[in-house]
Amino acid sequence: MSYQVFARKYRPQTFDDLVGQEHVTRTLKNAVEQNRLAHAYLFVGPRGIGKTSTARILAKALNCIHGPTTTPCGVCDSCKEITGGNSLDVLEIDGASNNKVEEVRTLTENVRYAPVRGKYRIYIIDEVHMLTPAAFNALLKTLEEPPPHVKFIFATTEPQKVLPTILSRCQRFDLHRIPANLIAKHLQFIATNEKIKLEPAAAHAIARGADGGLRDAESMLDQLVAFCGETIAEADVLSVFGFTSEQTVAGFSENILRGETAAALALLDEQAAAGKEMMKLMSDLIAHLRDLLVFKVKPDALADETAPELQSSLGAEAILIETDRLLDLIEQFAAAEGRMKWAPNKKLHFEVAVIKAIQTLGQITLTDVIEQLTALCGDSASAPVSDRAPARSPAPPTPIPVPTASLSPTPLSAPAKDIFAPPPTDVSTIWPQAVQLVHKRRPLIKNWIDTARFLGTDRRNFLLGFAPDQKTVMESLARPTNRSFLEGLLKELTGTDWTVQLNLDTSLPATPPAVTIPPPQPSKSNETIETFKDDPLIKEALEIFKGEIKSVTT
C-alpha cells in the first residue's frame, strides 16, 4: 500500500476526534440527537482547522446505517464511501473550479433525485466564497427551500465574500484556531503511534509555527520525520523551518526592555548569521510583546497558548515596563515590520527599530514632566537645590524584581562595596519623617506613599511592602524619577545611600495602616526666593518655555 501522509492518515473520523472545536461538535451532536437538523450549514475558519473534516463527519452521522447518530460506525458501506470520497449521496464540490452559474444550475436540477443508499443527499461545497454572484443567485431558491432529503454544507475561509442572502439561509459555525498546547498534545499522540521520539520542546515549536492549523502541524511533522528519522529535537525544528526558539525571543525582548542595546544587537546579528528570516523574527518579537501585554492584563489568559517556561519569563519581564510604554513599543515594531516588507536590507531596518525602541524607553513621558514640574514647585520652597530629583533620567529604567509574597526579596543591583556593609543606624523612625517630606514636596504622590508599609532594612536596601491590590501603585512608585526621589530623601535624613526595594506582600492588609504625620509648619518661602531664582533647572525651564518670574506669593 502506498504511503499516506499524517494529515490524511490521522484525519478526524468522529466528532470526538476533532481537536479544539468543542463548541461546534457539541452543537452538532445535540442537533443530531434532538433531530433539529438544518437544511444548510456554513463552516467558517482559517485553513487546516477541520472545516471539511467536520462536514464529512456530519455527513457520516446523517447517512450511517445506524443514523442519524452522533457516533457513526465507520465500517458500513455508507461510512466507508464517504471517508473514501466516492459516495453517490455525498457530493464534494470545489467552489474554486466549479463556480460558474451553469454548474450551479446543474446542481439545483439534480437535487430532486432521491439518495441512492443513505437517508440524505448531501452537497459539500468547499471554498464557497469563490462562487460568482450569478452562481450564488442561482442557488438562492433551492438553498432556502430544498427537498426534505437534501442537505447543504458550505466551508469557507473568507465569509465576508459570501453574499448576505446566502449567509442568512445557513446556520453558521465559526471554527477557531487551535491552541498550541492542544496541537502539541496531538503531535505527541501521532508520534507515539508511529513510534517516533518527539521532544516536548520540539512539539511545541511545531505547534507555534503552525499558527493554530493542525493540518500544517501534521505536515511539518511528516517532513521532520523524513529529515530526522525516529528522533526529533527542538534544534531540528528550528533548523529545518528557520524558526527562532521562544526562549531566544524572550531573551531578545528582555534585552530591549532592560535597555541593553549591545546585547540586543549582538543577538540580532547572531540570528541573521544563522540564516534566520528577519521578517519571521520581527513577527515573533511582536507576538511575544503581545503575549507580554496580555499577561500584564490577565496572567492566566495564556495558560493554553504558552509553555510554563515562557510564562515564567513573561512574569519577569512584566515588571520591567508599564502598559502604556509597552503599547508604544508594539506600535513601533509593527510600523518597522511594514517598512521591512519592501526594504532590500531588512536587518538594517530591524537594528534601527531596536535602537529607537530602547531610546524611547529611556525618554521622559508627559506624566513624568508633570511630576517633575510639581516637584519643582514643592522643592523650590522647602529643599536645597542639590537635593531635588533630576529633571531627566539619563539611563534606561532600572528593573525592579518580580513581586512575590515573601518578606525576603532579592535585592536590586547595588554597588558592590555596599553588599556586605553592616546596616546603618536604627531607621525605624525614619519612614514617618520621609512620608512627611513627601507630602510637602511631592503632593501628587502622597496618596501612593500612604499605601506603603515599611518592612525593615536589608544591608543598604530600604524595604517597602504593598498589599496585593496596590500593584499599580507600586509600579508607579517604581519609576526612576520617583524612586530616585525617595532615595534622595532617605539620604537626606540618614546621611546614607539607600536602595529602595518595592515588593508585593499578601500578608499585608488591603488598606495598610496610615502613617501619622504632624501638621506642616509654615514655610518661610521668602528666605528661599533667591535660591529658587538661581536654580539652574529653573533657568533652563524659563529658557525653554520663554517665560519669566514676575512675582512670588508667600
Rounded to an integer, the average pLDDT of 206-211 is 89
pLDDT at residue 404 above 70? no
Q: Contact at 8 Å (CB) between 360 and 327?
A: no
CATH number of the domain that 259 lies in?
A: 1.20.272.10
- Report the candidate in 375, 268, 246 with the shortest Cα–Cα distance to residue 313: 246
Q: Are 113 and 121 in contact (CB under 8 A)?
A: yes
Helix (H) or strand (E) holding 458: strand 453-458
Residue 285 located in a structural domain: yes
Of the candidates 174, 190, 207, which is a domain's last residue?
174
Q: What cell numbers appear for 301 in the block?
A: 489568559
- On the question of pLDDT at 244 being above 60, the answer is yes
Considering only 186-195, 243-252, 349-358, which range has the smallest mean pLDDT? 243-252
Same domain? For 165 and 141 the reply is yes
Same domain? For 235 and 307 the reply is no
Cell output for 504:
508585593
Q: Do 54 and 185 fall within a single domain?
A: no
Evaluate if residue 124 carries a pLDDT over 80: yes
Cell of 136: 450564488
Most confident of 202-206, 482-486, 541-545: 202-206
CATH number of the domain residue 402 falls in: 3.30.300.180
Domain region containing 58? 6-174
Do residue 506 and residue 433 come from a single domain? yes
**pLDDT for residue 44:** 95
Residue 527 lies in a domain: no
Whether residue 382 sits in one domain with residue 513: yes
Q: 488 and 377 in one domain? A: yes
The percent of residues above 90 in pLDDT, for the chain, comes to 42
19 and 163 fall within a common domain: yes
Domain check: are 377 and 301 in the same one? no
**Is residue 31 a part of any domain in this protein?**
yes
CA distance 299 to 309: 14
Determine, yes or no, domain membership for 539: no
- Residue 18: inside a domain: yes
Cα gap 73→184, rounded to integer Å: 28
Report the C-alpha gap between 167 and 225 in whole angstroms. Answer: 42
- 534: pLDDT confidence band, cut at 50, 70 and 90? low
Ramachandran angles phi, psi of 114, nearest 5°: -75, 155
Query: Are residues 22 and 109 located together in one domain of the fold?
Result: yes
Q: What is the CATH number of the domain that holds 119?
A: 3.40.50.300
Q: Classify residue 231: in a domain, yes or no.
A: yes
Do 320 and 385 lie in one domain? The reply is no
The residue written with cell numbers 504625620 in the block is: 517
Does 549 map to a domain?
A: no
Q: Are 107 and 153 contained in the same domain?
A: yes
Residues 443, 503, single domain; the answer is yes
Query: Any alpha helices (H) in 168-277, and if so which ranges?
Result: 180-193, 200-210, 214-228, 234-241, 246-257, 261-273
Q: Look up the pTM and report it.
A: 0.63
Helix (H, G, I), strand (E, B) or coil at 198: strand
- pLDDT at residue 321, as a whole number: 87
Domain count, the chain: 4
The pLDDT of residue 389 is above 50: no
- CATH code: domain of residue 237: 1.10.8.60
In a domain, 43, yes or no: yes
